[in-house]
Amino acid sequence: MTLRFYDSATAEVRDFVPLVEGKASVYYCGATVQGEPHIGHLRSALAFDQLVRWLRYRGLDVTVVRNVTDIDDKILSKSAESGEQWWALAYRFEQAFEDAYDALGIGKPSYEPRATGHIPEMHALIQQLIDRGHAYPAADSSGDVYFDVRSWPEYGSLTHQHIDDMQAAPDVEPEFVGRKRDPRDFALWKGAKDDEPATASWPSPWGSGRPGWHLECSAMVGKYLGEAFDIHGGGLDLRFPHHENELAQSRAAGLPFANFWLHNGLVTFRGEKMSKSIGNTVGPAELLGTARPLVVRYYLGQANYRSVLDYRPESLTEAAAAVERIEGFLLKALASAAPDGGYQPATAAVPAPFEAAMDDDLNIPAALAVLHDTVRRGNSALATADVDGTAAALQDVWNMTDALGLNPLDPQWRRATDDGGALQALSALVSEQLAARSAARAAKDWAASDEIRNRLAAAGIDIADSADGATWTVRRN
């Protein structure tokens, strides 16, 4: 196995060697459930779903942790604005995230801990940092506890910054400044405030309050994956300050923490940064109202995970065409090679170029190029009645789409469209008609050939002739 990933901490592609042979441990930042999910959240979750699928394909026993931040400043602010209890608001949006993940076939993590369920672990980590001289309670009676960034010489190592070039931690209240030794010190524990609900605070050795955002992940990952684990992931926007602070407080507490840091790129709208103030954000409802879930998954996962993904309304149309080419071949090949259904490939192996692309820092564009080239070869084999060539292409396409979570005939997508069986039956019938048309053309019976084409067109089936033979698609209104 020669897996290689780009490690943000070292800014280089490194060989991936699991800390425990035969196993892999992955933690990636999940939702802060303050509102509805948007396309950026989905892209990030899908990128790490692709990673986990590939690690498992490579034979590793993978443990995945994806957290839920269900208490923070924005959740409380939106709760106050709406009048809805903060915990009810958080749970409602958590379910919206889960529904979107499920719709796109994003696998369930091994564990999905909520921040509010791990207060004792956070207290223990804070005390550890205080005992080691890297954290301090505020001098007043506020109940705040801060991480002392200047006590940790490696602070800034993840994002390759010098501490004096960094901005102050984003505590906007003026009273915070006097409580800190350095403006860049960040909160590990936030003392309770009079204008916040009593249910949003927990007793602690430093006074009632709630955890700081960065602290939550360090405490939860330690509980579920241990002191050292293989991969920490998240969106590029989380590198600073969130992941930088996670790394600092964990290492300062004496924990080895993550061996690799992987960050997925952001999503833009026609080349511009997405922003609610501009009104160019895109959510699951819009995406899934425009295209099938499988098409949305294909679109969100077609670029290299580290690159920027630009969304345009026509993007989903292009993705749909790609999916239909794959789907059309599979249906035709199954009708030819396995007309009774129940197809299972003889082996789960993927073509060597596909495997090499995926091993190379999840090079999805190169992997998809292999997939589509195989579809083209399979269609050529179908057109020339090459049984062995069709069967080989069918097996390869089936295995590659399975590895990517893109197999159109997977039960996940049949449930989503409720037409998987119907499409397979339709494919068998259309294939018979195309065989009859091919025979008519070979006999130069153009009238019969045209009649078959017209009959299919009237039923909503479009035929395209090429050097590789005829292909068909269902016309979508």
Question: Burial, 236: exposed, middle or buried (Cβ in 10 Å; 0-12, 13-18, 19+)?
Answer: middle
Which three-class secondary structure state does DSSP give residue 200? helix
Output the pLDDT for position 443.
87
Output the pLDDT for position 139.
82
pLDDT category of residue 466 using cuts at 50, 70 and 90: low
**pLDDT higher than 90, residue 465:** no
**pLDDT higher than 90, residue 264:** yes
Contact 215, 75 (CB under 8 A): no
**pLDDT higher than 90, residue 252:** yes
Nearest C-alpha neighbor of 45 from the set 26, 29, 64 = 29
Output the pLDDT for position 457.
84
Of 44-53, 308-317, 353-362, 435-444, least confident by mean pLDDT is 435-444
* Backbone angles phi and psi of 236, in degrees to 5: -60, -30
Output the pLDDT for position 477.
44
Output the pLDDT for position 419.
47
What is the percent of the chain with per-residue pLDDT over 90, rounded to a whole number? 76
Q: Give 146 or 466, the one with higher predicted confidence.
A: 146
Residue range 427-450: average pLDDT?
A: 80
Output the pLDDT for position 336.
82
Q: What is the rounded CA–CA span in Å between residue 166 and residue 184?
A: 8
Mean pLDDT computed over every residue of the chain? 91
β-strand partners of 447: none
**pLDDT higher than 80, residue 195:** yes
Output the pLDDT for position 279.
75
Residue range 56-64: average pLDDT?
A: 97
Domains and CATH numbers, the chain: 4-136+146-163+213-264 (3.40.50.620), 286-474 (no CATH)
**pLDDT higher than 50, residue 287:** yes
Output the pLDDT for position 338.
74
Q: Give 224 or 462, the one with higher predicted confidence.
A: 224
Q: What is the rounded CA–CA span in Å between residue 285 and residue 289?
A: 6
Q: Give 446 or 435, the one with higher predicted confidence.
A: 446
pLDDT category of residue 420 using cuts at 50, 70 and 90: very low
Rg (CA), the chain: 27
**pLDDT higher than 80, residue 470:** no
Tens of pLDDT, residues 302-353 = 999 999 999 998 899 999 999 999 999 999 999 887 777 778 999 999 999 9
Tens of pLDDT, residues 66-84 = 999 999 999 999 999 999 9
- 399-403: long-range contacts (C-beta < 8 A, 24 or more apart)? 399/345, 399/347, 399/348, 399/349, 399/350, 400/350, 400/351, 400/354, 400/367, 400/370, 400/371, 400/374, 401/326, 401/330, 401/371, 402/348, 403/53, 403/54, 403/57, 403/350, 403/354, 403/358
* Backbone angles phi and psi of 368, in degrees to 5: -65, -30
Which three-class secondary structure state does DSSP give residue 310? strand
| 30: CB partners within 8 A, 6+ apart | 45, 66, 67, 68, 69, 97, 112
DSSP at 243: I
